[in-house]
């Protein structure tokens, strides 16, 4: 594992590993024990420019490459991940503070998305469209956009980098990837190393490890990329969308959430408890689809609450390297402080803490809050940490109102003995995704993934990747002579 943090602590531009030329370093820490993993001199605006220019030079030839040949790169990348799975898992545990369970989950999905990229290379199809003009043939081609800029987050960096990088490349584009500063290796240079070893030609994937304090909006404003794929907070996403619109770029935004898991009066309570605990506390709650709010019908609230609290008390907080650990560290001290501060503020505003988790450095133990005032800001916002909010309701109509009473609309779930009742409930919720009798945290390679409202713009996965990373071109052919009015 350690070799990743020494060998890959560099920029990757035009097929070359090299240090950045900035005046300061990004220090990569293990969030559990503060061990220094790597020191990376940041990329400057000039290096961002070099990366985009290299991508533009390499892209034309790649787009003209037989898609069956392009596909072979992704098949090799998949085999490399399988061969190095143990090492990559160790890196995820070290750099993210992810548990071993989380590392396995992330690697499983990353492999699934690479398998889909293998097929995606062959997916673009053209069309012949009829014309009202005699002798005219309308051909509509689906072509790569050119160069895609990808900005990935810290919570699932390996998966969420691959999720945009692999489809964009498979469809004939080149990519410049900017990983999050807290996960520069797993989310950035490790991805580049895998594709380099898989035989991807130089220049097609570039990684710049940097900070907006150094480059400002240069990554977004650069004239080369035609699409920016961003995964992160809605606050930053709003800025990304604004800058992209000003420069006539397409933005694909996968943003935050405030998902609810709803327990109707006829639900299987034990099963709903299991689903809710997983949906809230997986990866310390640092998941955009996590169930911030657990809404329970008043008639079953006492039974559900007792069982929910009992199960949460069994979750072990500690060293993510310990296979028994469920709750590892929050990604950094400022995030940990924000989570603890939100709990304290909610209690000060009148909430009851059924479990009041303590904070030890970046370790934040689980909390369960109830009796929140209806106007509590916490009910409307995303909590990127291990804090569950239990809310009771009286009947489905109120449940629907409460679920929708948030600026976000990413995921959610409902539990009921009547599947069609659950589907009817789901149709009333303003989200991009909703699940009946399951958890709120799901992602599958061929199912459209994305949110409504402040949770994003556009979709990823499956055929929606064509909409995100290709464009259409109309070429008409006039057989015979066309007539003109003058």
pLDDT digit string, tens, across residues 260-317: 999 999 999 999 999 999 999 999 999 999 999 999 999 999 999 999 999 999 999 9
In the sheet that holds 127-129, the strands lie side by side as 127-129, 136-144, 470-478
DSSP label at residue 92: H
pLDDT value of position 483: 87
pLDDT value of position 2: 63
Tokens coding 235: 């606050």
Report the pLDDT averaged over residues 62-79: 96
Active-site residue, from 50, 95, 106, 288: 288
pTM here? 0.96
Contact status, residue 97 vs residue 328, Cβ threshold 8 Å:
yes
Q: Is 396 a catalytic residue?
A: no
Residue 1: pLDDT over 60: no
| Element housing 205 (H / E) | strand 205-207
From CA 387, how far away is CA 282, in angstroms rounded? 11
Tokens coding 36: 């220094």
Going by C-alpha positions, the residue among 86, 11, 1 that lies closest to residue 35 is: 1
Vertex 30, ends 27 and 33: CA angle to 5°? 120
How do residues 169-195 score in pLDDT, each as one tens digit? 999 999 999 999 999 999 999 999 999
Active-site residue, from 254, 365, 382, 396: 254
| Pairing of the two strands 227-231 and 250-254 | parallel
CB atoms under 10 Å from CB of 151, counted, come to 23
How do residues 131-147 score in pLDDT, each as one tens digit? 999 999 999 999 999 99
User: Among residues of the chain, what percentage have pLDDT more than 70?
Assistant: 100
Taken in order of first residue, the domains within the chain and their CATH numbers are: 2-255+455-474 (3.40.605.10), 259-436 (3.40.309.10)
Tokens coding 363: 């370790």
Q: Is 85 a catalytic residue?
A: no
Helix crossing, 190-197 with 67-83: angle to 10°? 120
């Amino acid at each position: 594992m350690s070799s990743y943090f020494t060998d890959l602590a560099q920029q990757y531009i035009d097929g070359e590993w090299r240090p950045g030329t900035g005046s300061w370093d990004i220090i990569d820490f293990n969030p559990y024990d503060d061990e220094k993993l790597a020191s990376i001199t940041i990329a400057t605006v000039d290096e961002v420019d070099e990366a985009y220019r290299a991508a533009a030079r390499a892209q034309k030839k790649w787009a003209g490459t037989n898609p069956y040949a392009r596909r072979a790169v992704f098949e090799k990348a998949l085999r490399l991940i399988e061969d190095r799975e143990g090492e990559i898992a160790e890196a995820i545990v070290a750099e993210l503070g992810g548990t071993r369970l989380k590392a396995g989950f992330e690697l499983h999905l990353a492999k699934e998305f690479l398998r889909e990229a293998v097929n995606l290379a062959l997916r673009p199809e053209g069309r012949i469209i009829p014309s009202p003009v005699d002798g005219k043939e309308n051909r509509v081609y689906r072509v790569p956009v050119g160069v895609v800029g990808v900005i990935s987050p810290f919570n699932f960096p390996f998966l969420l980098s691959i999720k945009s990088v692999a489809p964009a490349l498979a469809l004939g584009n080149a990519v410049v990837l900017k990983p999050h500063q807290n996960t520069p290796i797993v989310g950035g240079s490790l991805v580049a190393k895998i594709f380099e070893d898989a035989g991807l030609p130089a220049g097609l994937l570039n990684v710049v490890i940097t900070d907006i304090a150094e480059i400002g909006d240069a990554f977004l404003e650069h004239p080369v990329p035609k699409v920016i794929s961003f995964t992160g907070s809605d606050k930053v996403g709003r800025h990304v969308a604004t800058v992209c619109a000003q420069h006539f770029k397409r933005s694909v935004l996968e943003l935050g959430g405030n998902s609810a898991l709803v327990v109707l009066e006829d639900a299987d309570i034990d099963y709903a408890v299991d689903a809710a605990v997983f949906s809230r506390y997986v990866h310390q709650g640092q998941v955009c689809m996590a169930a911030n709010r657990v809404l329970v019908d008043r008639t079953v609230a006492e039974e559900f609450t007792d069982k929910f609290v009992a199960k949460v008390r069994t979750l072990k907080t500690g060293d993510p390297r310990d296979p028994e650990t469920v709750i590892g560290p929050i990604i950094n001290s400022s995030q940990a402080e924000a989570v603890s501060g939100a709990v304290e503020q909610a209690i000060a505003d009148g909430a009851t803490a059924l479990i009041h988790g303590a904070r030890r450095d970046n370790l934040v133990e689980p909390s369960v809050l109830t009796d929140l005032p209806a106007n509590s800001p916490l009910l409307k916002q995303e909590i990127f940490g291990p804090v569950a909010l239990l809310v009771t309701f009286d009947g489905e109509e109120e449940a629907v109102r409460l679920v929708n009473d948030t600026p976000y609309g990413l995921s959610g779930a409902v539990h009921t003995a009547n599947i069609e009742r659950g589907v009817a409930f789901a149709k009333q919720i303003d989200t991009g995704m909703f699940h009946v009798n399951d958890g709120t945290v799901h992602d599958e390679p061929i199912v459209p993934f994305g949110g409504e409202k402040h949770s994003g713009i556009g979709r990823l996965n499956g055929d929606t990747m064509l909409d995100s990373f290709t464009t259409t071109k109309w070429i008409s052919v006039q057989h015979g002579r066309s007539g003109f009015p003058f």
